[in-house]
Amino acid sequence: MSAVAGSFAVTRRQFLIAGSGAAGSLVLGLPAIAMADDGDRMIGFFVQIESDGSVIIGSNQPEIGQGVRTALPMLVAEELDVDWDKVSVRQMPLGIVKTAEGYAWKYGGQGVGGSTGLTENWDYMRQVGASARRQLIRAAAARLGVPESQCRTKPGVVICTSSNREIPYGDLVEGAAALELPEDDAALKNVDDYRIVGTKQNTIDARDIVTGKTKYGIDTVEPDMRYAVIARSPVLNARVTSFDDTEARKIAGVLDVFEIEGPEPGEPYLILASGVAVVATSTWAAMRGRAALQIEWSASPNASDSSEKFWRENEAMLKGKGQVVLDDGDFDVAIESAETVITHQYRVPFVSHAPLEPQNCYARVQEDRCHIIAPTQMPSGASRAAAAVTGLPRENIRVDMTRVGGGVGRRLTNDYVAEVAMISNKTGWPIKLQWSREDDVKNDFYRPGGVHEMHAGLDGDGNVTAWAQRLASGSKYYRRPNMPDEELFGAELYIDDFPRRIVDNVRMEYFHNKIGLPRGSWRAPAHTANAFVVQSFIDEIAHETGQDPLQLRLGLLGEEREIEYSGHGGPTFNPGRLSRLLRFVADRIGYGKALPKGRGIGLATHFTFGGYAAHAMEVTIANGQLTIERIVAVIDCGLAVHPNAVEAQLQGGTIDGLSTALGLEITVRDGQVQQSNFHDYPLARIAMVPSKFEAHILPYDDTPTGVGEMGIPSAAPALTNAIFAASGQRIRTLPIAGQLRRNV
Amino acid sequence: MVSFKINSSEVSFDGESSTPLLWVIRDHLQLTGTKFGCGIGQCGACTVHIDGVAQRSCVVPVAAIDGRDITTIEGLAPSEDKLHPVQEAWLEGDVPQCGYCQAGQIMAAADFLQRNPQPSDDDIDKGLTNICRCGTYVRIRKAIHRAAELSAGDKT
């Protein structure tokens, strides 16, 4: 492969994604780097074409089950013009390049969170495919001695229209790779010409998964690898004062035992907690060694934290005045002059991510370099964590990504990468760190819990004229570096959400409660709490003012129009797209039909990070027993690039939302998390899911939104609204658990 | 020393006899298709067949399987080219999302269908309790019915 071939890898698009500042040096600096790790049948970093016409497409993003490892290569294959059944996919490692201005992306930005995996790469991946196709055409034109305009492609082949000669891509790849990349972008296909994008394709790795061949982080086996576990403090923010490892070291296979220093209380997290590491020749020996440790823990400032205290404090806070973070119009005047005023409080609990693959990571730290193999959503964070622990420059840290056994937001944080790097750094051995399920449930960055107080004022015609949401919670941004207190609300209240700019007088007020539980991003973060609260409250307003819950929502959302939305998923929000979905689910489920006693239908809808979803659910409540009879879910994600995964995400998101609403809560007593495993943190099983479950995709326009988080937020309120319709019992505290009354 | 058969191969293990079968399979035999999810027999990610019956290998001490016959996900398909009907149905229905629990789901379903060749949805709800964190249950249910059809077809 020639030096110039590598320069192709840098499209202008990549340059744009790589960020400003590093521009010129990045483009000029790349060819040598490209040569270092690329095969010789590569066109750029992403596309490899074999002589038999098979195509290997690189996937730069972590696959956590959301389907990017299939969807992104579909975009490349579409524009490259190859048959999908000729494509296989190769996972790319983290690519960062040191420049004079700092680190820049080598393969485009990498990391999945906020449902951006597809949207951030939509232009880029199409351009990768289109540019490679253009190089193949140019190579064919040069070989045949004809102008490029006389060449076109059909899948896997360049055709010269004047001579009717055909050359397979496989015969052109070396010539194509040697051509310098033009400065301008290659032309992209029209949506109408798509043959792969928008068609039903299976998960690219499905066969390997069902035969047990796929490697997750936990499956990593490397030469001379040792196994490690860590005993972490049972009390939030307590630290190791001393430990006795006499018995632990007697266990066959235990090689070493040492302290892991944790963060000071209040300090930003690199790892979650202070602890004692046990290194052994097998996972089980390490676990047995850990069980034999005697550890003394320090007193903790959070030793008296409890859920009861937290809820009490939140309710007390709400009696005072908080930080007003949004104040459109004049809420005080509007509520004063309202014909009807409605107020309710809702409680949303802390919950754990509990991805099914417990946290784990492999690290090999050597004197001048480090190798990380991680199940992570944020490989750049893994690189930073390893750099922080080892002091090595990031360009000397290789981060390989495996398929990830569930992300849910937990693996945006790379604390387990830092831990294993610490252990490998200390011992000099290649180490695989393994968390148990108990480690995972008790040491998480939990979705924050909070108490929401809602106020609405209505005029004599039933129009909502005033709206307030007052929230007391533990912000996710707590213990973030350089985060001022007055910005803590931003993780919990998304000020541009419905009904802002729909209702004239809207206020949001925030109170921060500094409970010691670590907090983080849980799939669709604050949307899960706020959709439950807002969609429940709307329902309550409708019932209490004699309005139909569907009509009240439709009246507020109105017809299609773009309104400003400055938060993630913006720059605009089109409430009419929610109206369309609501009408659809209401129609499908037969909203308004006569139902037997004890049966009811509930609706909810929400705009999440740029995507739109709605749910209708029909339930029966008999003698305090809930049966979900039927679910209709719908998503509008713009253009559905990989519809099979869109449907899967909608099904799975809905089930995640229901599972969480039905039974999941993390509680604290005496500074300790009380749950430990799936017996007391009961994720839903198949029996919860009704046989009648429809998941629909309503297309809109020709640009995709993300899909990973949109299916969750409206699921819980659709369920609790259905419970109310069936039984007259309003659920204002999650989880629903044992709240359902028998006497209905 | 414990000796047993796994995917038709004779193997032995001379470590600590209380070691859960799961960790012998994963760490010592390096068959990593069988997954660790909870360690207390709750989630079923570690499901294997012991003498043809689905069991959660994280709570079976290796001492208990001396002389017995284990099948893991790697050994479920009759051959490299021909998948087990449950695997076939899982592929057809594109069940996996993250995929981590699916080996356990498939092993559980394969055993379940032996005992319930034509299951109703209610049978499925009662008979299958493996956890899928991604919530692939809609497709799992469909795939089990499809696998039942494929199995019936195989027998005729």
B43 and B100: one domain? Answer: no
Q: Is residue B145 part of a domain?
A: yes
Cβ separation of B100 and A216 shorter than 8 Å?
yes
Does A679 touch chain B if contact means CB atoms closer than 8 Å? Answer: yes
pLDDT at A313: 98
Cβ-contact A681, A88 below 8 angstroms: no
B46 and B95: one domain? Answer: no
Distance from CA of B43 to the nearest CA of A (A): 7
Nearest to A677 among B42, B99, B133 (CB): B42
Strand ranges (E), A2-107: 42-43, 47-49, 55-59, 87-91, 96-99, 102-105
Does position A448 have pLDDT exceeding 50, yes or no? yes
Does position B13 have pLDDT exceeding 60, yes or no? yes
Taking contacts as CB-CB distances below 8 angstroms, the residues of chain B near A643 are none
pLDDT-derived band of residue A743, with 50, 70 and 90 as boundaries? low
Does B127 touch chain A if contact means CB atoms closer than 8 Å? Answer: no
The residue among A475, A489, A472 whose CA lies nearest residue A315 is A472
Helix (H, G, I), strand (E, B) or coil at A469: strand
Does position A659 have pLDDT exceeding 90, yes or no? yes
pLDDT-derived band of residue A372, with 50, 70 and 90 as boundaries? very high
pLDDT at A178: 86
Q: Which DSSP category does A350 fall into?
A: B
**What is the rounded distance in angstroms from the CA atom of residue A282 to the CA atom of residue B70?**
21
**Residue A436's closest chain B neighbor by CA?**
B38
Q: Which DSSP category does B114 fall into?
A: H
- Residue that finishes a domain, picked among B14, B42, B75: B75
- Return the bridge partners of B13, or none: B2
Q: Is residue B80 part of a domain?
A: no
The interface predicted TM-score (ipTM) is 0.98
Cβ separation of A211 and B74 shorter than 8 Å?
yes
Nearest to A686 among B34, B74, B140 (CB): B140
Nearest to A655 among B32, B87, B135 (CB): B135
pLDDT at B46: 98
Does B97 touch chain A if contact means CB atoms closer than 8 Å? Answer: yes
Q: Mean pLDDT, chain A, as a whole number?
A: 93
Q: Mean pLDDT, chain B, as a whole number?
A: 97
What fold, for A217-301+359-434? Aldehyde Oxidoreductase; domain 4 (3.30.365)
Q: Kindly report the CATH class assigned to A3-210.
A: alpha beta
- Residue that finishes a domain, picked among B75, B100, B130: B75
Q: Is residue B134 part of a domain?
A: yes
pLDDT at A177: 86
Lowest mean pLDDT, pick from A164-178, A353-367, A668-682, A711-725? A164-178
Whether A3-210 and A307-351+445-727 share one fold: the answer is: yes
Q: Indicate the number of domains in chain B.
A: 2
pLDDT at A27: 27
End-to-end CA distance of chain A: 75
Does B147 touch chain A if contact means CB atoms closer than 8 Å? Answer: no
Angle between helices A169-178 and A122-144 (to 10 degrees): 100
**What is the rounded distance in angstroms from the CA atom of residue A278 to the CA atom of residue A293?**
9
Nearest to B32 among A215, A655, A691 (CB): A215
CATH number (domain holding residue B130): 1.10.150.120
Cβ separation of A211 and B28 shorter than 8 Å?
no
Does B32 touch chain A if contact means CB atoms closer than 8 Å? Answer: yes
* CATH number belonging to domain A307-351+445-727: 3.30.365.10
Taking contacts as CB-CB distances below 8 angstroms, the residues of chain B near A434 are 36
CA B108 to each of CA A70, A213, A465, B40, B101: distance values in angstroms, whole numbers, following the listed order: 27, 18, 55, 16, 11
Cβ separation of A648 and B121 shorter than 8 Å?
no
Taking contacts as CB-CB distances below 8 angstroms, the residues of chain A near B132 are 356, 686
pLDDT at A76: 97
Does position A157 have pLDDT exceeding 80, yes or no? yes
pLDDT at A12: 38
Taking contacts as CB-CB distances below 8 angstroms, the residues of chain B near A653 are 135
Does B79 touch chain A if contact means CB atoms closer than 8 Å? Answer: no
CATH number (domain holding residue B23): 3.10.20.30
> How many C-beta neighbours within 10 Å does residue A555 have?
16
Cβ separation of B138 and A677 shorter than 8 Å?
no
pLDDT-derived band of residue A742, with 50, 70 and 90 as boundaries? confident
Please state, for a pLDDT cut of 90, what percent of chain A lies above it.
91
pLDDT-derived band of residue B152, with 50, 70 and 90 as boundaries? very high
- pTM, to two decimals: 0.95
B67 and B110: one domain? Answer: no
Does position B16 have pLDDT exceeding 90, yes or no? yes
Cβ separation of A358 and B37 shorter than 8 Å?
yes
* Residues contacting residue A67 through CB under 8 Å, at least 6 positions apart: A203, A642, A644, A645, A648, A649, B97
Cβ separation of B23 and A687 shorter than 8 Å?
no
Helix (H, G, I), strand (E, B) or coil at B11: strand
Give me A681's structure tokens: 């943190």
Q: Is residue B46 part of a domain?
A: yes
B10 and B69: one domain? Answer: yes
Domain that holds residue B116: 85-155
Q: Is residue B124 part of a domain?
A: yes
Give A28-45 pLDDT, tens digit per residue: 222 323 333 445 789 989
Taking contacts as CB-CB distances below 8 angstroms, the residues of chain B near A686 are 124-125, 128-130, 132, 137, 140-141
Residue listed under structure tokens 């007052």: A470
**Residue B105's closest chain A neighbor by CA?**
A210
B64 and B120: one domain? Answer: no
Number of residue pairs across A and B with CB atoms under 8 Å?
196
**SS3 readout for A265-322:** CCCCCCCCCCEEEEEECCHHHHHHHHHCCEEEECCCCCCCCCHHHHHHHHHHHCCCCC
Q: Is residue B105 part of a domain?
A: yes
Give A178-203 pLDDT, tens digit per residue: 888 888 999 999 999 999 999 999 99
Does A91 touch chain B if contact means CB atoms closer than 8 Å? Answer: no
Please state, for a pLDDT cut of 70, what percent of chain B lies above it.
99
Does position A4 have pLDDT exceeding 80, yes or no? no
**What is the rounded distance in angstroms from the CA atom of residue A477 to the CA atom of residue A485?**
9
Give residues 681 to 720 of A whose Cβ lies within 8 Å of B: 683-689, 691, 693, 695
Average pLDDT over residues A353-375: 98
Does position A13 have pLDDT exceeding 60, yes or no? no
Cβ separation of B45 and A356 shorter than 8 Å?
yes
Taking contacts as CB-CB distances below 8 angstroms, the residues of chain A near B72 are 212
Taking contacts as CB-CB distances below 8 angstroms, the residues of chain A near B124 are 686
- Residue that finishes a domain, picked among B52, B75, B98: B75
Per-domain residue ranges for chain A?
3-210, 217-301+359-434, 307-351+445-727
Cβ separation of B128 and A686 shorter than 8 Å?
yes
pLDDT-derived band of residue A1, with 50, 70 and 90 as boundaries? very low
Cβ-contact A8, A177 below 8 angstroms: yes
Please state, for a pLDDT cut of 90, what percent of chain B lies above it.
97
- The number of C-alpha atoms within 13 Å of A424 and in the hemisphere containing its C-beta is 31
Does A403 touch chain B if contact means CB atoms closer than 8 Å? Answer: yes
Q: Are strands A47-49 and A55-59 parallel, antiparallel or unpaired?
A: antiparallel
Nearest to B103 among A212, A283, A691 (CB): A212
